[in-house]
Amino acid sequence: MNTDRLVKTFQELVSIDSPSFGERKMADELTVRLRKLGFTVSEARAGEYYGGTAGNRYAFRQGTIPGKPLLFSTHMDTVEPAEGKKAVLHGDGRITSGGTTVLGADCMAGTAALLEAVTELEEEQADCRALEILFFIGEEKHLRGSAVFDFSCVQAEESYILDLSGPAGTAAIQAPTLIDFEIVVHGKAAHAGFAPEQGVHAIRIAANAVARMDMGRTGASMTVNIGHIEGGVKATNIVPERCSLRGEVRSYSHEQALEEMKKRGSQIPGGICGLWGTCGAAVSAGQYYSIISGSTPMTQDPWAATARLTSNIIGRLADVGGPRCCKRTGFAAIEEAARYTAETTGIAMELPERTTCTFMANNAECRKRDCPFFPV
């Protein structure tokens, strides 16, 4: 291994701006380097799915010995802030960022190591099986690039993803699923000095909810975290009317993670529709759409699309008015979610021509004929 060349390659790659869905410069640079090493390189169309500047890169090089190809993979994007990155080499051998951006070692370290290994093979004319390389876009946005890649072109039965920290030789054989969630608390603004009793304190409600949740490692294979809370306005004399919480659940079992989300939902106090200005049915529909759209706190269009569905449901419920009825809100949320899914994805869900409630006898506050689901 040529250590000086490896460090130089790493520094050169780090200096290329490559945010998620803005990987064009990086993709072009890697294409040039791979072709010089004897690879044929093709570009997939993943960027078109997400409005990005580049697609995934697939590269292939013939081998000199028989056997199935070996597949190696890294990703081309880095987390933010990713503009103007540079790698600073210190006298003690450490490499750091310049201090105002991320370094981008994830995943430029793995990419530089892969290029150095192939360069060594080329220089030594060493015998090797055929090689396949995949460089993905949008990995930092929850593997969005690999999600739309057509793997039918891949011949390898062994693959190595160079995207792990730790001592040389460390390997991961399992990775957790990740589910992001957002909770928005709607209170009521009021002057905190003159009439605080007229307000509903959204931050306090959110804080009480967080205090009731288990955090950190909640089991042998699960972690839960609320990583961001934001609410109120700059003025301190206003009872805050809005507070948002963003968090995540990670688990080696996707089903277990979904169960944990259900548990989190059950920890939200009853009656939030009247106290918080939202509805559990609307929140649940938002959770559903965030999963199928890939929405996270850091996405753009999927985040907006998920919020739009939730707001559509809340608006429909507000048009009918109170008092609350969980059957009415549930029916409305399901109908709106089905319609919205058909409009945005083309996937049609089966719905009855008219949803009719049969529980009105059990609800003393039933709106009767003012309810859109009351029997005609």
Q: Which residues are catalytic?
A: 77, 139
Note whether 341 and 349 are within 8 A (CB). yes
* Tokens at 340, concatenated: 């919205």
Note whether 290 and 302 are within 8 A (CB). yes
> What does R_g of the chain's alpha carbons equal in angstroms?
26
Cβ atoms < 10 Å from Cβ of 249: 23
To the nearest 10°, the Cα dihedral for 76, 179, 171, 129? -50
To the nearest 10°, the Cα dihedral for 28, 29, 32, 35? -90
